[in-house]
Amino acid sequence: METIQTERFNQIFSHWGRHKILILGDVMLDEYLWGNVSRISPEAPVPVVEILKDSIKLGGAANVALNVKALKDEPILVGVIGKDKNGERMREALNSVRITDEGIFAEDSRQTTMKTRVIAHNQQVVRADREDTQEISSELVDRIIDFVKKKIGAESPEQSRREVSALIISDYGKGVITLKLLSELIDLCRKNHIFIGVDPKETHFLNYKKVSLITPNHNEAAFAYGKKIKDEAILKEVGWGLMDKLEAEAMLITRGQLGMSLFERNQSLTHFPTRAKKVYDVTGAGDTVISTFTCAFTAGASYKEAALISNHAAGMVIGEVGTAQVTRNQLTEELKNFVKD
């Protein structure tokens, strides 16, 4: 599937931007140190990078929220930070882009995750991580569940129309997405007919049972199934095998230069060739896929249409260095060449 009908294109984008989307997961800061290399260190055989500028961006689940906002839907971000300087930076960064921090919980026993990347001549030289990966406390799990329930409106049975249209789970394995949290929220969303999209951590893969959509890359899918994807036949075996285990509605496997493959519960398999013209950096590409797919689906797109739209969005961001977001206007312009009567 490489094109979309004009009528469907107009229908989808006329309803786009009217939805509140919960994003739950591991929030982090991405720090970038930009510079040049002109010599090797006399202390060790490593390059000396002269830092010329630096920047801090929202990463992880916070980058998913940024993507949702850029696409004109309203993100409600839920995550955990430490009571530290980087936690304050996180709140400041969210407030600066008008994303509410009411769902950001602080825990004494952990530090706010920060990933520092040193980049010289558009090439990443090294990455340094500051993080804690132990599971959050059971008390904090309960507080998050209560927060999500209130946002969904699950505590008001008489409420016929839910305030939230979708839940995105962005799992980077930093301790926020516990088994109890997953099972309770998946059950809650299913009861309230709310779309659940998951950008998975491979080691937690089989915990995401009965979600609407899961978006592993090919390495994560291969790890979860226990078999390296070497060809089309193994791709199908892995895809359908995981679909059976997860009982999901759909799975979108991102395959780098080979594009994406969408497995649907109705036994439909659709391949999408890559739209990337150049590849500088895949940082945040998974965030773009899950956020764009969810926004498209809540606007009325089918799984295939949402995957096609997500494929184009991903092709746009991996041509940039660092985490990047696609705006709704940029996306509609990109897609106009693939709309047919």
Exactly one of 30, 73, 199, 287 is catalytic; which is it? 287
pLDDT in tens, 80-124: 999 999 999 999 999 999 999 999 999 999 999 999 999 999 889
Sign of the C-alpha dihedral computed for residues 227, 231, 235 and 241 taken in this order: negative
pLDDT over 90 percentage in the chain: 76
pLDDT in tens, 315-330: 887 755 555 788 888 8
Q: Which of 121-130, 154-163, 281-290 has the lowest mean pLDDT?
A: 154-163
CA-to-CA distance for 178 and 201, rounded, in angstroms?
A: 12
Nearest alpha carbon to residue 167 among 269, 97, 73: 73
Q: Is 84 exposed, middle or buried (0-12, 13-18, 19+ CB in 10 A)?
A: middle
Domains along the chain with CATH numbers: 4-28+59-114+132-340 (3.40.1190.20)
pLDDT score of 325: 81
- For the question of residue 287 being annotated catalytic, the response is yes
pLDDT at 283 over 60: no
Q: List C-alpha distances in Å: 115 to 92, 130, 208, 328.
A: 17, 6, 26, 28
Query: Structure tokens of 247?
Result: 């009982």
Check if the beta carbon of residue 41 is closer than 8 Å to that of residue 48. Answer: yes
pLDDT at 191 over 60: yes
Q: List C-alpha distances in Å: 103 to 17, 96, 292.
A: 21, 16, 22
SS3 39: strand
